Amino acid sequence: MNEIPEDGPQRFASDEARWAAVLARDVAAVDAFIYAVRTTRIYCRPTCPSRRPRRENAEFYADAAAAEQAGYRPCQRCHPQAASLPQRHAQSVARACRLIQHADTLPSLDELAQVAGLSRFHFHRVFTAVTGLTPKAYAAACRSERVRQALTRQDTVTDAIYAAGFNSSGRFYASAERILGMAPKRYREGGKGMEIQFALGECSLGTILVATSDKGICAISLGDDAEQLLQAFQEQFANANLTPGDKRFDAWVAKVVAFVEEPGVGLSLPLDIRGTAFQQRVWQALTEIPLGSTISYAELAERIGSPKAVRAVARACASNSLALAIPCHRVVRSDGALSGYRWGVDRKRTLLMRELAQGKAAK
């Protein structure tokens, strides 16, 4: 199950929450709902600078169309019937993203800004805020995905590199292992020749799979069915040399299981962490959340300097393959409720309760 943040409309599901947002002119609510004033028959955005009505005169609608259907007319100050600034920015960035995705080489910043209808400096700030990546980093991510696809179709690695839009093989090979998690040839061959030790076991959270490469632990997965866990792992490395762990590895697995049972003891083992630059930022921030604490997806996005990239943050959490070692279970909805978790919401709840108890005991 992927993690989906519910910091948007769900945060303003009740009239009380909506009214509080109106009083605070909360920018997070700008596209979440519309409020209308019975005495003036006018509807506004939650952030409208006009004088606030009495609470008993305010009512709420999902959007401008619903308010107009109820007989209200739009405010002439905040123009709630038009696209909001965040919506316009999202549309501009979407046009730029499509240009990047279909271009053989990265368009210049001026070309992207022109397509977006913004100045080059404003465009760079808006693009980074919306996607969590710079235009250059986004283009690199697109090329990386092209490489993954091309490696399964082209006759040679070199053909795949150029088919994906890289101008030189040297620049690709410099970052290949970080992008693919292994050498390009190995990726093309499904991890052929790659040595991975693994073990399946049981812990209080169900079945656990632990795997290591030559660089450290590369997977910690939780589930209810050992065969499903193993099948998913085998599909990821279809041609790798998967072998049961030796005695040294058994000791590592024991440490991982002990860490699952008592997160407060820490996990002093090397980790093989591979991901994009944005994922690395998110995962690093996750490791800095104290035991027994939680933050929202929106707060995590703020912490990495990309406040508008809430959904991108959630996708990075969902891509985490190291359960507990990278504690994505400590991210919750803005109202404190639990959202989806790759290894199940019940496990997330158990982990948080366990860590809270251990955190209190440590004080």
pLDDT digits (tens, 9 = 90+) for 318-348: 888 899 999 999 998 877 778 778 888 899 9
Query: Could you report the per-residue pLDDT of 104-140, keeping only the tens digit for each?
Result: 677 888 889 898 888 888 888 888 877 777 888 777 7
Total-model pTM: 0.55
Active site residue 328: yes
Band of residue 314 on the pLDDT scale cut at 50, 70, 90: confident
Please tell me which residue in 44, 78, 142, 317 is annotated as part of the active site. 44
Catalogue the long-range contacts made by 122-130 (C-beta closer than 8 Å, 24 or more residues apart): 123/92, 123/96, 126/89, 126/92, 126/93, 127/93, 127/96, 128/306, 129/89, 129/306, 129/307, 129/308, 129/309, 130/89, 130/90, 130/93, 130/308, 130/309
Band of residue 4 on the pLDDT scale cut at 50, 70, 90: very low
Helix axes 120-131, 85-102, angle to 10 degrees: 90
Active site residue 44: yes
Please report how many Cα atoms fall inside a 13 Å half-sphere around the Cα of residue 323, on the Cβ side. 23
Low-confidence winner among 70-74, 224-228, 358-362 (lowest mean pLDDT): 358-362
* Mean pLDDT, the chain, whole residue set: 79
- pLDDT above 90 covers a percentage of the chain that reads 17
